[in-house]
Amino acid sequence: MVKTGDPLARARLLLQMSRPADAERELRGLLAEEPQHVGAHALLGLALVQQDRTGEALEESGEAVRLAPDDWMPHYLSGQVHYMAGLIEEAARASAAGIALQPEYAPLWELLARVHMKRRNWVQMAECARYGLRIEPEDADLAALLAIALTMLGEHEQARAAAAQAVANDPESVRAHWALGRAALAAGDPRTAAESFREVLRLNPGFESARDCLVIALKERNPVQRTLSRLRQRFVGGWRLLFLLPALPPVILVFVIIALLHWAAWIAESWTTLRLARAKATRLLFERAAARVSMLCLGLAGAGAILVGLGVGLGWEELGLAGAATMALVTPVQEAAHTGSPAGRRVLYGWAVLLAVVALGAMVTSAFPPALLAVYAALGTIWIAAGVRKIFRPRQEV
């Protein structure tokens, strides 16, 4: 039972304890006595949005701003309500209005930094975090936000320093350890990243993004996987290169090298994932689907290699080419598995099945051209998948 003489103080404490329904009761009781209490309206908006009652929350926060337009606090709480409701532009306007009235309140700069993070405006996010830190140098959340912005800007050393400072300021901060893990992973230090993400999950076991990043960090501790993964990310090849093919046919060699590089990286990914998914210490981090996809890809690579060997040994070119097409299917299967949108995954899995049917038909009928086209199409799925992901975007990106 929360005991204090001030209902507004009780409501604040209840909100800190993640008890918004109890906070709402306190605030409605206060408003029954004082219908124009600015703080009660503002905090009630926060309590309501935490209960997913967005319309009521916006009404209450709007009423608080209407009652006290020259007070920075209603603008700040309105910004929080809009931010939690996913109304980012409105949150930006509210936080900017609060800053105009009270520029020396660090949480306002933190809110605006989070708004810029949603907008993916990394430079502005870093500027807001730095300004807030000038006001509150020991604020762990602001230091963590600065570290995330610097990570996204590629300033890895500064990002790690800011994240380390955030952890030092508050060793129990989930955001601080998350920022340190992100910075370490981007800087090529998967061991430190894995330790940080484990700490995030200790503090907040339901943090799914940390679980995903821990899996990535564990995979990248394999030097082969790490090298191939970074090469794959660096050498993608733009679709505009296609326009150079008529004028510069040798450019096709660039496409072949990039496609083979991605294929090798997916093989390494499959091996690393299957090994970690079977290890006692890490298997709980992996869904069964990930292990099944990895096993399928390694099976395709093995079966294709056997067919290639038989084709070479028997002098049967069509069989060898069908084997190469089977091995190449690793790319479309992994591209489908690593697509965030369910609709995009279905499209790419359908594409993989179509290529598998073509490869099988070519092997049965000893047809050379379809088998060759299946090889090219499978390896070239990296560009098809890029287009599919642009069309079918996941609702929420990490």
Give the tens place of pLDDT for each residue, 294-342.
899 999 999 999 989 998 888 888 788 888 999 999 999 998 988 878 8
User: How does DSSP classify residue 340?
Assistant: S
User: Tens of pLDDT along 238-255?
Assistant: 445 555 445 555 656 767
For the segment 180-197, the average pLDDT, to the nearest whole number, is 91
Query: Which residues lie below 8 Å from residue 126, measured CB to CB, with a gap of 6+?
Result: 146, 149, 150, 153
User: How does DSSP classify residue 286?
Assistant: S
Q: Where are the beta strands (DSSP E) in the chain?
A: none
* Rounded distance between C-alpha atoms, residue 77 and residue 181, angstroms: 30
Q: How many CB atoms lie within 10 A of CB 390?
A: 9
Q: Which of 26-30, 185-189, 314-318 has the lowest mean pLDDT?
A: 314-318
Greater confidence (287 vs 341) lies with: 341
Q: Which of 131-145, 187-201, 382-396 has the lowest mean pLDDT?
A: 382-396
Query: Which residues lie below 8 Å from residue 271, measured CB to CB, with a gap of 6+?
Result: 225, 294, 298
Structure token digits, residue 46: 């926060």
Q: Which of 157-161, 272-276, 330-334 has the lowest mean pLDDT?
A: 272-276
Question: What structural domains does the chain harbor?
Answer: 1-102 (1.25.40.10), 103-214 (1.25.40.10), 240-391 (no CATH)
User: How does DSSP classify residue 284?
Assistant: G
Q: What percent of the chain has pLDDT over 70?
A: 89
Q: Which of 141-155, 176-190, 329-343 has the lowest mean pLDDT?
A: 329-343
For the segment 2-13, the average pLDDT, to the nearest whole number, is 75
pLDDT-derived band of residue 387, with 50, 70 and 90 as boundaries?
A: confident
CA gyration radius, the chain: 27
Question: Are the C-beta atoms of residues 330 and 367 closer than 8 Å to each other?
Answer: no
* Rounded distance between C-alpha atoms, residue 81 and residue 7, angstroms: 20
Query: Which residues lie below 8 Å from residue 172, measured CB to CB, with a gap of 6+?
Result: 203
* Rounded distance between C-alpha atoms, residue 155 and residue 184, angstroms: 11
Q: Which of 67-81, 270-284, 339-353 has the lowest mean pLDDT?
A: 270-284
Q: Which of 71-75, 168-172, 205-209, 232-236 has the lowest mean pLDDT?
A: 232-236
User: Tens of pLDDT along 118-145?
Assistant: 999 999 999 999 999 999 999 999 999 9
User: Tens of pLDDT along 253-265?
Assistant: 767 788 888 898 8
For the segment 73-97, the average pLDDT, to the nearest whole number, is 95
Question: Are the C-beta atoms of residues 225 and 266 closer than 8 Å to each other?
Answer: no
For the segment 157-180, the average pLDDT, to the nearest whole number, is 95
pLDDT of residue 382: 84
For the segment 221-249, the average pLDDT, to the nearest whole number, is 58
Residue 330 CA neighbour count, 13 Å, CB half: 28
Region of 71 please: left (phi>0), alpha (psi -120 to 50) or beta: beta
Q: How many CB atoms lie within 10 A of CB 77?
A: 25
pLDDT of residue 163: 96
CA angle 290, 292, 297 (to 5 degrees): 95
Helix (H, G, I), strand (E, B) or coil at 398: coil
pLDDT of residue 397: 39
Question: Are the C-beta atoms of residues 142 and 106 closer than 8 Å to each other?
Answer: yes
Query: Which residues lie below 8 Å from residue 395, measured CB to CB, with a gap of 6+?
Result: none
pLDDT-derived band of residue 288, with 50, 70 and 90 as boundaries?
A: confident
* Rounded distance between C-alpha atoms, residue 266 and residue 364, angstroms: 27
Report yes or no on whether pTM surpasses 0.75: no
pLDDT of residue 1: 40
